[in-house]
């Protein structure tokens, strides 16, 4: 596989800095690194971004995530490896990534997430999901090669 072009963030360094600033703000939130990693991995799975899966997997592993949980993530509903809070975050992650139907983020999904996370943590989760979706779309469109 060969990239179609340079990654848009490398063409516009100011954009890369802005995205890094958002990520830095989220890093200072109460939302755990583990939760952010799970969201990044799940978004990248849904979007089929191999380069983002590669990067997110490496980050998650460095932060102590297990291979078992990363492998089972695509089947998180049927897997015993995730907490109720992680399940709520993953349901929200999927809804916000897919934005399907007349009620793209169902009330029950939002309610469940808001029972596990305060407003600041929810905002950090939403920013993580949004930034990951944007990065995935850049990578998929340009066929960014994993590991480069």
Does 11 fall in a domain?
A: no
Q: Which residues contact 126 (CB under 8 A, 6 or more apart)?
A: 92, 96
Containing structural domain, residue 129: 31-142
- What is the rounded distance in angstroms from the CA atom of residue 56 to the CA atom of residue 38? 9
Q: What is the CATH number of the domain that holds 68?
A: 1.20.1290.10
When mean pLDDT is compared across 41-55, 68-82, 131-145, the lowest value belongs to 131-145
Which DSSP state fits 105?
Answer: S
What pLDDT, on a 0 to 100 scale, did the predictor assign at position 95?
98
Would residue 64 count as lying in a domain? yes
At 99, list the tokens.
């934005």
Tally the domains of the chain.
1
* Residue 57 covered by a domain: yes
Dist. CA 73–CA 81, nearest whole Å: 9
Mean pLDDT to the nearest integer, 75-93: 98
Residue 7 lies in a domain: no
Helix/strand/coil percentages in the chain, nearest 5: 70, 0, 30
Choice between 5 and 71, residue whose per-residue pLDDT is larger: 71
HSE toward the beta carbon, residue 39, CA cutoff 13 A: 30
Task: Reduce the DSSP state of residue 81 to 3 states and report it.
Answer: coil
For range 105-131, the mean pLDDT: 98
Q: Answer yes or no: is 25 within a domain.
A: no
How far, CA to CA in Å, does 50 sit from each of 26, 45, 118, 139? 23, 8, 32, 8
Residue 58 lies inside a defined structural domain of this protein:
yes
> In the predicted model, is pLDDT for residue 148 greater than 70?
no
pLDDT bin (cut points 50, 70, 90) of residue 4 is confident
**Does the residue 16 lie in any domain?**
no
Return the closest-CA partner of residue 39 out of 101, 103, 9, 82. 82
Residue 6 pLDDT level (bands cut at 50, 70, 90): confident
Q: What pLDDT was estimated at residue 113?
A: 98
Which residues 6+ apart lie within 8 Å of 36 measured at CB?
26, 124, 125, 128
* 144 pLDDT tier (thresholds 50, 70, 90): confident
| Structural domain includes residue 98 | yes
């Amino acid at each position: 596989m060969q990239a179609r072009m340079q990654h848009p963030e490398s063409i516009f360094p100011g954009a890369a800095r802005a995205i890094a600033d958002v990520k830095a703000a989220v890093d200072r939130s109460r939302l755990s690194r583990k939760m952010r990693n799970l969201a990044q991995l799940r978004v990248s799975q849904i979007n089929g971004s191999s380069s983002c899966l590669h990067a997110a997997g490496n980050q998650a592993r460095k932060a102590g995530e297990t291979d078992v949980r990363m492998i089972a993530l695509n089947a998180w509903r049927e897997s015993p490896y995730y907490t109720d809070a992680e399940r709520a975050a993953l349901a929200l992650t999927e809804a916000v990534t897919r934005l399907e139907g007349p009620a793209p983020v169902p009330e029950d999904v939002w309610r469940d997430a808001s029972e596990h996370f305060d407003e600041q943590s929810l905002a950090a989760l939403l920013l993580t999901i949004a930034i990951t979706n944007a990065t995935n779309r850049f990578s998929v469109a340009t066929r960014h090669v994993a590991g480069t």
